[in-house]
Every structure is written in C-alpha cells, then in structure tokens.
Amino acid sequence: IDWREHIIFKKRLPQIASLQVEYPAEPEESYKITNINDRDFEVKSLFTGELVEDVNAERILNMLTSFEEINFEAFITHYSQAEQDSIIQQEPFYIMTLTGKDGSETRLRTYRRPALDGQTEFIGEEIPYDVDRMYAVMNDDTELLLIQYFVFDKISRKLSYFLN
C-alpha cells in the first residue's frame, strides 16, 4: 500500500481561496482565513463569527505558503478496524479545511496519539500523548494516516498566534 502518494496538501498561495482551522477543545482558537489577493487576507473567528482586526499578515503569509507540499508519513495498516474506528470516534484535535480557488476542498481531521511506552517530558514526568506524531484522516475517508508535528505545526497555528 505504501507506494501510493503521501501528499495531503499541494497548493501554492495563488491557488488557495481559504483555510479553516477548527479546534474543538478550544473553540476560541478556531478561525477561517480568506485569501483576498495573495497579499491581503481576511481572518474570521469561528467562535465569535466576527472579523479579527490587527492580525500579523506576515505570519499568515508564511503559513499559507507552506501548503505547497505537505505529506503524511505513513498509512496505518497494522491496526484492526475496531482500533481505527475507536480513534476516529474521538473528538478531533483539530480539523483543517483547505479550499482552492478551483472549488476543490481538502479536509484533514487529526487525532492525538497516545504516548509510546517510556516517553517522558524533560522533567521525567510521563506524558499522555506522543510528542512527535498524531493520527489523521483525509476528507471522508476512513483510512488512518500517521503525520508528524514537525511537518504540521507550521500549518496548524491557533488564532492567537496571528494576533499582533
């Protein structure tokens, strides 16, 4: 199965109409960015429904230009259907929807992954979640993917990151 493409997002800035990022556990951090003309962006809080003033356009630009090629690490094929279903039935960590100017839409739901045995913080405390990887599901698919925070952190910022 792993011979298939591992691309999730492959859009250049001029191809992006909007990006919506929802944090179910932190609704006040959820937002939608609309690309007005590749230099100007409209940011709307999904929590209040209002436009957000005084945002850092450079941070928005840096994030949106990061969608040129975003890949996942692997297909999860060694879990039973029941194990996969139990992951997908959890509340997502975040849900990201990238809409192209051509009308295409890619939706990614992410789920935290339990920490591996023995994974600890710097102070030696055990941690509840894997700090390197999480699970994801694309669009309405049920196939579980493995993604890396290293790759996805730069495109899944919370709303507060963009405020001046």
Residue 129, beta-bridge partner list: 114
pLDDT of residue 115: 83
- 93-124 pLDDT, tens per residue? 999 999 999 999 999 999 999 887 665 566 66
59 near 161, Cβ under 8 Å? yes
pLDDT above 70: percentage of residues in the chain: 92
65 near 134, Cβ under 8 Å? no
pLDDT of residue 66: 96
pTM score, whole prediction: 0.91
Average pLDDT, integer, range 6-17: 96
4 or 33: whose pLDDT is higher?
33
- 26-60 pLDDT, tens per residue? 999 999 999 999 999 999 999 999 999 999 999 99
43: exposed, middle or buried (Cβ count in 10 Å: 0-12, 13-18, 19+) = buried
64 near 34, Cβ under 8 Å? no
pLDDT, mean over the chain: 92
pLDDT of residue 4: 76
pLDDT of residue 121: 63
